Amino acid sequence: MRINNYVAPDNLAEAYLVLNEHNSNTVLGGCTYLRLTSKNIDTAIDLSRLGLRYIEETADAVEIGALATYRDIEVSGILQSLFSGVLPQSVMVIVGVQFRNLATVGATVYSRYGFSDLNTALLALNPEVVLYHAGRIPMALFLEQGASKDILEKVIIPKADLRASFKYLRNSSGDYAILNVAVARSRDEWKIVVGARPFRAMIAAEASKCLSGSRLQKEDIERAAKTTADELEFGTNMRSSREYRQAVCEVLVQRAIQEVIS
Amino acid sequence: MNIVSKSMAKIDGMDLATGKPAYVDDLCPKEALCVKILRSPHAFAKIVTIDIEDASKVAGVACVLTHADVPGIRHTIALESYPESSPYDRLILENLVRCVGDPVAIVAAEDERTAAMALQLIKVEYEALEPVLDFEQAEGNLQIIHPESDIVTNFNIGLDARRNVASSRLEEIGDIERVLNECEVVVEHTYYTQAQAHSMLETHRAFTFLDRGRLVIVTSTQSPFHVQRLVAQSLGLPANRLRVIKPRIGGGFGGKNKALVEVFPALVTLKTGKPAKIIYSRQECFNSTTSRHAMRGRVVLGADRSGDVRAIDLQVLTDTGAYGEDSADVLVVASHNVLPIYGGPKSVRYRGTAVYTNKMPGGAFRGFGAPQSVFALESAMNELAAELKMDPTQLRLKNTIKLGQAHPFLGGSQEGKPAVVNSSTLDQCIERGKALICWDQKYPRREVEGNRVRGVGMAIAMHGTGIARVDTAAATIQLNYDGGYKLLVGASDLGTGADTILAQMAAEVLATSLENIIVYSADTDLTPYDSGAYASSTTYVTGNAVVKAARLLREEIVRGCAAIHGKSVDDLELDGQFLRTVDGAWEIPLPELAKQLVSATGKQQPAATATFGGDGSPPPYVAGFAEVEVDLETGKLDLLNFVDVIDCGTVINPNLARIQAEGGIAQGIGQTLFEDMRFDDRGEMLTDSFMKYKIPCRKDVGQILVEFLPSLEPTGPFGAKSIGEVVVHTTAPAIADALFNATGVRIRRLPITPEKVFKGLQQKWG
Amino acid sequence: MRITLWINDRQQELEVTCDEFLAETLRNNGYLSVRQGCSTTSCGLCTVWMDDKPVLSCSVLSVMANGKRITTIEGVQDEARAVAGFLVGEGAEQCGFCIPGLVMTVLAMKKDLRQPTAEQIVHYLNGNLCRCSGYMGQLRGIKKYLGVE
Ligand SMILES: Cc1cc2nc3c(=O)[nH]c(=O)nc-3n(C[C@H](O)[C@H](O)[C@H](O)COP(=O)(O)OP(=O)(O)OC[C@H]3O[C@@H](n4cnc5c(N)ncnc54)[C@H](O)[C@@H]3O)c2cc1C
């Protein structure tokens, strides 16, 4: 990675302007991923003067600023007590504490990494993302569409009477997940999300629906898990084959549902 | 004993643990040129042209060197004693590249950025050749990896380059076919062990400078004297024009028992007269050095129904990659440090072949062929136990070689004179390990809640201790004017604590304290010869030299005292602090005597040098036990407990020995469960970072429990044998068998990933 | 670019390039305890504190550290010696190359966690790789240092 210029604007408008001045201009998060790339960046944009590092509870939502780190999530009292603690659970296993003190929420969501644990957990909570230019959009839609040359400001998670569970399978504890699953239930509405397929986290719509209407018997849970594995697409990479991911998906989804109803 | 067998802290421990500068890069002069290597993107190709004009013109570039600019002397970079068994099949730079990462050009510049930029400006035209990547297809392949006619071998290692065979070996006791035919039970299976990356946390590095016309190399190496000899040879210089210094190093594990990097800055310094340094990136450390040889091992075991093993037939094929470094010795170790653990068989046959492929070379890695071969043999033993419906510990106890028994494959054996086991507590190690893991309660399996099941498994192993009649070490000890001592050894402390335990031995003999001994090591100008830190040798080989030298020095001090003070040598005793007459009537404090001896009064500074080389290679033994928990729905295996009970002879420093064992086991766990060096179909390594190649983290190793049951090795210093390598051997077969006992799934190809277990479970249970 | 860092409580004006990482900057300025074991933010060797929090200095752009307090092991020698003593007491420092990063993480953990369990210790330190020791001896030493069972 090479950088020619560095700026730390004090308002988002300016940051956005600079970002769009040159094709290679780039927003900086914790740089944990950027530094792996061989990008030639003309101007690097540091957002740290924009006050985007926060996790705040409002009357009906939790807002997580783009510069909140994985570690902020991990130790946040708010996030430990809300949403069955799935957000802290999803990040606390990633690399090490010195890494989690750097990696940011904004970068993770904006980059829509397929392997991401956080995005899987987040998606189950029905959040919206706020982009400077594109505005407020549901995260599910954002993960599908992405954005170009925009800046993610924050993620807004509606507070809901909700129980959730996050599951993953990794071989070494320091490795990326072979697969991750988040399941959430708010009243009778279920959401089943699977990530690291190795593709981007996605809601298993049909399975979620069929579970929502069911009586949550053993067969219903098994059917939901099977439907999830059938309706989503899986792929092969160096960590695992498509077939194995599909099989593990069924297992983890069942376990996550069990945990939510137990 | 006051000092030996005590857990002394490492003499450099506090400095290292508080971050003091001590490593190669910490010592390098700031103005050193930065050296970088242009590497082949092709697995196999001829270099048609190299254009360095643009690169050379970059401001700040000091030189760009290609194969046209460097000596073309075939050599090896394997740090082995002369005459090396490794074929001389390398040039520093060659117009034929044999693997991705093979060096093509050397660039030196004022700083790293400039060097990196210049690298990109070198234009190379390659004529790509079809590579040989599958080691099972290499032998006799039409594509010949070493077509050159000038490969040199120092003796017959079974090299047949025309057939891509780097080395081959056949050994047979008895008539294997006949004995196998007579056996009531025969099991036959094939096992695969993957290439493994050393992953020492300090990558390979060295810097060079000129000192009064001589080339000084400061390098992170395991064997400075071999570096001196081999680098001199490849440069066509006399060895005495070079001085090689090893400072503190950040791990080696065999990976730094190669002269991989030194020659590059050396050439630059010789060419420019300026200091130069090279530091491998982590990526280079992964894809442009060496690895554990990948191996296929086919085992046939023949036995009686009662469990007496009558015949062992082991055939191994190893992937030595683009060059033959260590390929011959690895074939020896895969036999000699493995097979003689069983004393009963009437017939033993070993066939080994090492083949060239177009991949990164194999090389020395802790265990040196033995872990691969142990995985095959011990897994087969466990399969035999299952076949016989016998407890695997009983099968072992029935067949282990016993004290006093001879085996013609044991290190030090000669034609018609098989070496004898002079020290062993192997059987007790098995019994003790059983107790520690609670084998009788846990074997073979226990269900735990939900979809989880636990199982235990075990394996035993041996190794050697130094290479008999090959490796040697010398030690010099001097009495200083202040009554303290100076210990000089060529041995390389890799962080293992060699300097400390050698000083412990000297202090014990000299009846002094550890603080009273100044240790200086691993500098070819200032320390005596040592073959190096490999083959589990330092404690035994260098240790014996130290003990010998210390004893000689005691005599020397007594002689000096007798001469000055008109006493008889037989009437004087040294107790560490004083020299006294036997009746105690006269004494002199050692510091006072020391001053007299070095001064005009004595004119005789006491010093002694002794050299040791073993006629044997006494085997250490270990019994390893694993307890695993398996998720039956996902196939994920968690290692809960690993127990090793070890006979390494007298334990010179229990803490340091324990860490050797725990560290070795962790590396074994890595090889068994996580580490998997992979290449794509063009021969490019896919796993070239810690992000993709997973060494175990803290959470991955479960509980490791190590205990010692020392025998007393009569030829060892204070009765010691080795520990460094034997401790990696048992993890894979023990874990694999624990998995089998838990689930009925047998994995014969490492690593044991959740996916493989899952597939096994599906095949087994549907 | 010119930046100001408070390194080990000493204010330092430094000239850095925009794409220089803190690990390099620190090494270039004589903080030789800062080492890199990977280039993929995976190993923990380069751990230092930025405003008292452990971070991977290989991943922090020096320009982004402008105005911040940086602590390396050179700046906390007394505390480091206390931890180191227990590691060395087990022989678990071994080659030593990864230890400064480990010690900085252990010291941070001591401030973050009260009376941690073995499991919490192992979790907190999971980002600090070591290839020599097998981790057990380090855990023994750290437990003794923290006075926990
Ligand atoms: C060794 C290693 C192991 C890992 N293991 C895991 C794992 O197990 N699970 C997992 O989920 N992840 C894992 N990760 C990935 C980790 O999630 C990413 O590194 C992290 O998400 C990147 O965060 P960052 O703040 O450092 O991003 P940066 O590297 O700073 O930025 C990444 C990208 O996001 C852009 N960006 C940053 N902030 C914004 C913003 N506010 N708006 C718009 N664009 C922005 C940047 O321009 C850049 O393109 C691992 C990474 C590494 C290196």
- Reported as a single tens digit per residue, the pLDDT across B692-730 is 999 999 999 999 999 999 999 999 999 999 999 999 999
Express as a percent the part of chain A with pLDDT over 90.
Answer: 99
Ligand 1 mutation pick, A27, A99, A238, max ligand atoms within 8 A of CB: A27
E strands present in B71-204: 96-97, 103-109, 123-128, 165-173, 185-193
Is there a contact between A240 and B633 if contact means CB atoms under 8 Å apart? Answer: no
Counted residue by residue, chain A has a size of 262
Residues of A in contact with B694 (CB under 8 A): 171-172, 174-175
Residues of B in contact with C89 (CB under 8 A): 9, 655
Is there a contact between B754 and A173 if contact means CB atoms under 8 Å apart? Answer: no
For tokens 């505390």, name the residue.
C79
- Give the ligand 1 atom nearest the CA of A176: 8
Whether chain C has a CB inside 8 Å of the CB on A45: the answer is: no
Whether chain A has a CB inside 8 Å of the CB on C126: the answer is: yes
Contacts (Cβ under 8 Å, ≥6 apart) of B81: B226, B467, B470, B471, B472, B531
Return the residue of B nearest to C27 by Cα.
Answer: B26
CATH fold for domain B294-467+616-765 = Aldehyde Oxidoreductase; domain 4 (3.30.365)
Cβ-count burial C34-57 (b if 16+ within 10 Å, e if not): bbbbbbbbbbbbbbbbbeebbbbb
Q: Which of C38, C76, C81, C142 to mutate to test the interface with B (most CBs of B within 10 A)?
A: C38
What's the confidence (pLDDT) of residue B450? 83
Q: Using an 8 Å Cβ cutoff, are B303 and B388 in contact?
A: yes
Contacts (Cβ under 8 Å, ≥6 apart) of B657: B646, B648, B651, B708, B723
Q: CATH number of C2-74: 3.20.10.10, 3.30.365.10, 3.10.20.30, 3.20.20.70?
A: 3.10.20.30
What's the confidence (pLDDT) of residue B292? 98
Return the residue of C nearest to A69 by Cα.
Answer: C55
Q: Using an 8 Å Cβ cutoff, are C57 and C23 in contact?
A: yes
What's the confidence (pLDDT) of residue C40? 96
ipTM > 0.95 (yes/no): yes
Q: In whole angstroms, what is the distance from residue B690 CA to residue C45 CA? A: 13
Judge whether A195 lies within some domain: yes
Judge whether A50 lies within some domain: no
Return the residue of B nearest to C120 by Cα.
Answer: B699
Q: Which of A32, A39, A69, A97 to mutate to test the interface with C (most CBs of C within 10 A)?
A: A97
* Largest pairwise CA distance in chain B: 90
B412 pLDDT band, cuts 50/70/90, is: very high
Whether chain C has a CB inside 8 Å of the CB on A174: the answer is: yes
Return the residue of B nearest to C48 by Cα.
Answer: B19
Q: Using an 8 Å Cβ cutoff, are A198 and A235 in contact?
A: yes
* In the predicted structure, residue B600 carries a pLDDT above the cut 90: yes
Whether chain B has a CB inside 8 Å of the CB on C32: the answer is: yes
Q: Which of C93, C101, C104 is nearest to C128 (CA)?
A: C101
Q: Phi and psi of C82, rounded to 5°?
A: -65, -45
Would you say domain B472-612 falls under CATH 1.20.120.80?
A: no
Q: Which of C93, C98, C138 to mutate to test the interface with B (most CBs of B within 10 A)?
A: C93
Q: Which of C57, C64, C70, C56 is nearest to C5 (CA)?
A: C70
A256 and A203 share one domain? yes
Give the tens place of pLDDT for each residue, B199-248: 999 999 999 999 999 999 999 999 999 999 999 999 999 999 999 999 99
Q: In whole angstroms, what is the distance from residue B89 CA to residue B168 CA? A: 16
Ligand 1 contact, A234 CB (< 6 A): no
Judge whether A84 lies within some domain: yes
Is there a contact between B18 and C80 if contact means CB atoms under 8 Å apart? Answer: yes
Name the average pLDDT for chain B. Answer: 97
A41 and A64 share one domain? no
Q: Using an 8 Å Cβ cutoff, are A28 and C64 in contact?
A: yes
- May I ask the CATH architecture of the domain B15-129+201-251+256-287? Alpha-Beta Complex (3.90)
Judge whether A68 lies within some domain: yes
Q: In whole angstroms, what is the distance from residue B114 CA to residue B117 CA? A: 5
Judge whether A129 lies within some domain: yes
Average pLDDT over every residue of B248-271: 98
For tokens 């550890």, name the residue.
B514
Hey, what are C140's tokens?
């023994």
What's the confidence (pLDDT) of residue B634? 98
Cβ-count burial B524-549 (b if 16+ within 10 Å, e if not): beebbbbbbbbbbbbbbbbbbbbbbb
Residues of A in contact with C126 (CB under 8 A): 95-96, 173-174
Whether chain C has a CB inside 8 Å of the CB on A32: the answer is: yes
Orientation of helix A242-261 relative to helix B754-765, angle to 10°: 90
* In the predicted structure, residue B765 carries a pLDDT above the cut 90: no
Residue B316 bridge partners (DSSP):
B297, B352
Q: Using an 8 Å Cβ cutoff, are B720 and B547 in contact?
A: no
Is there a contact between C59 and A32 if contact means CB atoms under 8 Å apart? Answer: yes
Is there a contact between B699 and A173 if contact means CB atoms under 8 Å apart? Answer: yes
Q: In whole angstroms, what is the distance from residue C129 CA to residue C41 CA? A: 11
Hey, what are A11's tokens?
């308002």
Residues A22/A24/A30/A36 CA torsion (nearest 10 deg): -170
Q: In whole angstroms, what is the distance from residue B515 CA to residue B496 CA? A: 19
- 0.90 exceeded by pTM: yes
Name the average pLDDT for chain A. Answer: 97
Task: Name the minimum distance, in Å, from the CA of C8 to any CA of chain B.
Answer: 14
* In the predicted structure, residue B116 carries a pLDDT above the cut 80: yes
Domain ranges of chain B: 15-129+201-251+256-287, 294-467+616-765, 472-612
B308 pLDDT band, cuts 50/70/90, is: very high
Task: Name the minimum distance, in Å, from the CA of C85 to any CA of chain A.
Answer: 23
Domain ranges of chain C: 2-74, 76-146
A30 and A89 share one domain? no
Ligand 1 contact, A151 CB (< 6 A): yes
CA atoms within 13 A on the CB side of B533: 28
| Residue span of the structural domain in which A92 resides | 55-158
B652 pLDDT band, cuts 50/70/90, is: very high
Give the tens place of pLDDT for each residue, B86-106: 999 999 999 999 999 999 999
B350 pLDDT band, cuts 50/70/90, is: very high
Q: In whole angstroms, what is the distance from residue B574 CA to residue B586 CA? A: 12
Q: Using an 8 Å Cβ cutoff, are A56 and A130 in contact?
A: no
Return the residue of A nearest to B635 by Cα.
Answer: A248
A152 and A186 share one domain? no
What's the confidence (pLDDT) of residue C87? 98
Continuous segment of H or E residues that includes residue A42: strand A40-46
Cβ-count burial B457-479 (b if 16+ within 10 Å, e if not): bbbbbbbbbbbbebbbbbbbbbb
- Looking at chain A from residue 99 to 128, which residues have their Cβ under 8 Å from any Cβ of chain C? 99, 101-102
Residues B479/B482/B488/B492 CA torsion (nearest 10 deg): 140
Task: Please give the single-letter amino acid code of residue A25.
Answer: N
Q: Where are the alpha helices (DSSP H) in B102-148?
A: 112-121
CATH of domain C76-146: 1.10.150.120
Q: In whole angstroms, what is the distance from residue C27 CA to residue B28 CA? A: 12
Q: Which of A163, B722, B201 is nearest to C100 (CA)?
A: B201
Q: Phi and psi of B589, rounded to 5°?
A: -65, 145
Q: Phi and psi of B109, rounded to 5°?
A: -145, 170
Ligand 1 contact, A95 CB (< 6 A): yes
B1 pLDDT band, cuts 50/70/90, is: confident
Q: In whole angstroms, what is the distance from residue A255 CA to residue A83 CA? A: 17
- Give the ligand 1 atom nearest the CA of A28: 30
Is there a contact between A247 and B687 if contact means CB atoms under 8 Å apart? Answer: no
B624 pLDDT band, cuts 50/70/90, is: very high
A140 and A94 share one domain? yes
Q: Which of C79, C136, C145 to mutate to test the interface with B (most CBs of B within 10 A)?
A: C136
Burial class (CB in 10 A: 0-12, 13-18, 19+), C115: exposed
Residues of B in contact with C135 (CB under 8 A): 662, 666, 698, 701
Q: In whole angstroms, what is the distance from residue B474 CA to residue B521 CA? A: 11
Q: Using an 8 Å Cβ cutoff, are A55 and A79 in contact?
A: yes
Which member of B249, B655, B698 has the closest CB to residue C122? B698
Average pLDDT over every residue of A199-203: 97
Distance of CA A255 to the CA centre of its chain: 20
Hey, what are A21's tokens?
């001045």
- Give the ligand 1 atom nearest the CA of A33: 29
Task: Name the minimum distance, in Å, from the CA of A1 to any CA of chain C.
Answer: 7
* In the predicted structure, residue B449 carries a pLDDT above the cut 90: no
Tell how far the Cα of B573 is from the centroid of ligand 1, in angstroms.
70
The domain that holds A80 is classified in CATH as 3.30.465.10
Tell how far the Cα of B700 is from the centroid of ligand 1, in angstroms.
24
Ligand 1 contact, A66 CB (< 6 A): yes
Q: Which of B69, B67, B58, B64 is nearest to B107 (CA)?
A: B64
Give the tens place of pLDDT for each residue, B377-403: 999 999 999 999 999 999 999 999 999
E strands present in chain C: 2-7, 10-15, 47-50, 53-56, 69-71
Hey, what are B554's tokens?
């005691």
Residues of B in contact with C76 (CB under 8 A): none
Whether chain C has a CB inside 8 Å of the CB on B221: the answer is: no
A41 and A63 share one domain? no
Q: Kindly report each contact of residues A212-220 with a partner whose C-beta sits within 8 Å and lies 24 or more positions away, as own/partner.
A: A212/A188, A216/A257, A216/A261
Convert B673-734 into a string of H (helix), E (strand) and C (coil).
Answer: HHCCCCECCCCCECCCCCCCCCCCCHHHCCEEEEEECCCCCCCCHHHECCCCCHHHCCHHHH
Ligand 1 contact, A110 CB (< 6 A): yes
Q: Phi and psi of A70, rounded to 5°?
A: -60, -40
Q: In whole angstroms, what is the distance from residue A63 CA to residue A109 CA? A: 14
3-state secondary structure of B372: helix
What's the confidence (pLDDT) of residue C149? 82
* In the predicted structure, residue A157 carries a pLDDT above the cut 80: yes
Q: Which of A123, A152, A118, A119 is nearest to A140 (CA)?
A: A123
Which member of A169, A172, A238 has the closest CB to residue B634? A169
Q: Of A133, A158, A183, at which residue does a domain stop?
A: A158
Count up the domains in chain A and report the number: 3
Is there a contact between A238 and B758 if contact means CB atoms under 8 Å apart? Answer: no
Chains touching C by CB (3 or more pairs below 8 Å): A, B
Whether chain B has a CB inside 8 Å of the CB on A172: the answer is: yes
Q: In whole angstroms, what is the distance from residue C51 CA to residue B556 CA? A: 60
Express as a percent the part of chain B with pLDDT over 70.
Answer: 100
